[in-house]
Structure 1
Amino acid sequence: MASMSATEAKNKFGQLLEMAQAEPVRVQKNGRDVAVILSGEQFAAWEASQTQPKVRPVIEDLMKRSVERRKSLYEALAK
């Protein structure tokens, strides 16, 4: 991953945008990361990955059936 200081990013914004088309660019201020610039395509891929279920559908189905079978037990424990 490429990196650039915040001052460079400000002064060379066009270059920053070009670099971000190839790979994410880390922007640093005072030696620490403050931002990561992504291309629109990279951001869309990241966003899509965030909406996918974290648990496999088979496991979700098993949990759902377990809750249905033990509903009275769960309700009693919740009281």
Structure 2
Amino acid sequence: MAAISATDAKNKFGQVLEMAQAEPVRIQKNGRDVAVVLSGEQFAAWEASRAQTKVRPAIDELMARSVERRKSLYEALAK
């Protein structure tokens, strides 16, 4: 992943956009990462990967079984 200072990013924004087409670009201020510039394609892929559930279906199934087994307990606690 490429890195560029915040000042250089401001002064060479067009170049940063071009760099982001190839790989994410870290923007650094005082030696610390403060932002990342991604291409639209990379951002869409990131959003899609975030939306995919990995463990969630198993958790949902366990929760549903728990609610079914302990329904009267949950109802009593809800009162």
TM-score for the superposition, normalised by structure 2: 0.82
Distance 2:51 2:71 in 1: 28
Q: Does 1:50 find its partner at 2:35?
A: no
Q: Percent identity?
A: 84
Moved over 6 A (4+): none
Distance 1:29 1:23 in 2: 19
Q: Does 1:23 find its partner at 2:23?
A: yes
**CA RMSD of superposed structures (Å):** 1.7
TM-score for the superposition, normalised by structure 1: 0.82
Tell me: CA distance 1:65–1:49, structure 2 relative to 1, closer, same or farther (3 Å): same
List gaps (5 residues or longer) in structure 2: none
| Amino acid in structure 1 at the alignment position of 2:55 | V
